[in-house]
Amino acid sequence: MDTTGRTTDPERLLRILDCLKQEFALAMKEGGIGAFSRMYDNGRKHILNEGEYCISFKQWKEICLKAKFKKITIQSVPNFEWFKAGFVFGDKAVTEVEQSDLPEEIKVTLKNTKKYAEGPGFSMDVKSPELIEIKIQN
């Protein structure tokens, strides 16, 4: 969803609401009132730009390309509270994660995960923008 522009712009609001209508309907259909309520709260954050992840899929793709991701797949995720992302870390990024204040769970997952040619990789629900920043910088 493209949330760029001034929060006071009526055309921006209509553009966001067009997208949210489909998301609201899908949340209600697949997850009931609970999922709809979470989607509604998330939609409000997007409209008011009150959140860490209020960026468009296009912006997310650009961030991933800048971070030198080779494959970028964007798809609907049934859990609406966070988004799921796959990460593969090089040696420099692994060291930075190990020395960071990220939760121990992430560090253990990274240490014990399968190693690919590019480095260890795993997917997870993203709740910390710090992990993405480490990946982008390394």
For the chain, 138 residues long, the average pLDDT of each consecutive 10-residue run is: 80 88 86 87 83 62 73 59 67 84 81 78 65 55
pLDDT attached to residue 14? 92
Identify whether 72 is part of a domain: no
Identify whether 76 is part of a domain: no
**CA distances, 84 to each of 9, 12, 95 (Å):** 30, 26, 23
pLDDT attached to residue 132? 57
What domain range includes position 114?
82-138
Final residue of a structural domain among 9, 32, 65? 65
Query: Are 90 and 138 in a shared domain?
Result: yes
Identify whether 47 is part of a domain: yes
Q: Is 108 exposed, middle or buried (0-12, 13-18, 19+ CB in 10 A)?
A: exposed
C-alpha span between 81 and 127 (Å, rounded): 9
Domain count, the chain: 2
Strand partners, 116: 119
Query: Are 58 and 93 in a shared domain?
Result: no
- For the question of whether the overall pTM of this predicted structure is more than 0.85, the answer is no
pLDDT attached to residue 125? 64
